[in-house]
Structures are given as C-alpha cells and as structure tokens.
Amino acid sequence: MWRDFNEHTEQPISYELYRRVFDGQNIAFGQPSQDDCDACITYKRHSNEKLENHPDDCELCLQSRQHLERAVKARHEYQNIDSEYTSYAVDMQKVILLPKLSIKEHYFVSRLVVFNETFACLSKGEKNLVVLWHEALSGRCASDVASAYIKAIEISNSEKVLFWADNCCSQNKNWCLFTALCTCVNAEWGPSEVKIKYLERGHTYLKADSIHGCIGKKMKKTV
C-alpha cells in the first residue's frame, strides 16, 4: 500500500511516516487466522525446506502458482462489480445461542440455536440483507440455505442477481440450491438471470464476514 501510494502521489513519503499515520488512527491490517489457506501453508513449508537439487518444474510449486493466480483473478473480479447485476456476498454466520443472559444458570440450560444467512450487498444504493431462522423452524441443510437464497432474491426484487460465495458444498455448491434457483428464474415473479461465483478455496474472505464480526461485537456488548 505504501508503494502504491507513492506511485500515485506527487509527494512521496517515507514508510515510517506512512506507518505512523495509520498507527495514529488506530488502523491495523491483517488477515483473520481462520482464513489461513492450507494450500499456501503447505507451499510455505515446502519452500522453507530449501532442499538440495530442488527442481524448477516442481509439481507442488506449479500447483501453488496456479492456485494463487486463480485467487488473484477471482478477487479482482469480486472487487470490480458489474453494475448490470445486483450483487451480494453470501455467507452463513456461526450458530447464535439465544437468549443471551449474564447469570450463571444460563450456562447449564439449553438455549435456542439461531441461524443467520447474510447477503452483504456489493452494489451501490442497495441494502444488506439477513435471513434469520431458528432450530424450532428448521435446520441448516441444503434446502434451508436454498430457501434463504430464494427469500433474498424475492426481497431484492431485481431483474439480474449475482451471488459471491465460498466453496462450502453443503451450503453453496449442491444440486438442491441450483435446482431451487432454476425454479426461481422460471417463476413468474422471479428474475431473468441468477449467477453464483466462487472465490478460490482458502481465499474466501467476503464482505459478509465483516458484517458477522460487527454482529458478534454488538452482541458481546449487549447484556
């Protein structure tokens, strides 16, 4: 970021000054530990071994380069939103236990499991959507997640909808979801087109994840 800033400004600054400005604003950069990519970690360990007679056409090195190229390409497309579509970043939050109580006894009694499928809007002028349900209504199998997608499409009331999702097969990559979306497109009220795009495995941080973080922080502060 510092190099990019200096390339696009008429008055380049030192890295130390750039760092102090961000520190003064209490801004930090980092990647969540839960998003560590197993393929990247494997390659990092492989490259640190420094084996003798290390071949230039190493299969693991080649696979790693292809993996990173796909990740960069997918991230670039994710960040350059097509204005023709109403675009959402989709992800399910980890289960929420309600009610949230501050007394000792609540740790020893059963609470209601609540599910939240977040549709973070990537298009300008549109609102984020959350679809909530609890275990007394249904679970979180493929049909339940597909129902959340259909509800989001219905609320968006858009002619063309694009979803960005991770590679979780049970939620976002299954025939139940694909069939439900086809049915939705063929319905009289449905959109004319629905697309689902996936980020590269291990590099799937989405806008929905930041919304989940805000929800979690808000719940911690709420008694």
Per-position DSSP letters for the chain, written without gaps between them: -HHHHHHT-SS---HHHHHHHHHHTT------GGG--HHHHHHHHHHHT--TT--TT-HHHHHHHHHHHHHHHHHHHHHS--TTSEEEEEEEPPPEEES---SGGGGGS--EEEEEEEEEE-STT---EEEEEETTT---SHHHHHHHHHHHHHHHT-SEEEEEE---HHHHSSHHHHHHHHHHHHSTTS-SEEEEEEPPTT----HHHHHHHHHHHHHHH--
Q: Which residue has the higher pLDDT, 98 or 161?
A: 161
Tokens of 128: 């984020």
Where in the chain do CATH 3.30.420.10 domains reside?
86-221
pLDDT tens sequence across 59-114 = 888 888 899 999 999 999 999 988 899 999 999 999 998 888 778 777 788 889 99
Band (pLDDT 50/70/90 cuts) for residue 39 is: confident
pLDDT of 55? 60
pLDDT tens sequence across 141-152 = 999 999 999 999
- Among 31-40, 72-81, 156-165, 175-184, which stretch is predicted with the lowest mean pLDDT? 31-40
Has residue 56 got a pLDDT over 70? Answer: no
- Is the domain 86-221 a CATH 3.40.50.1400 member? no
Question: Hunting for tokens 């000792």 — which residue is that?
Answer: 104
CA distances (Å), 47 to each of 61, 68, 80, in order? 8, 15, 32
Band (pLDDT 50/70/90 cuts) for residue 34 is: low
Q: Which residue has the higher pLDDT, 69 or 50?
A: 69
pTM of the model: 0.78
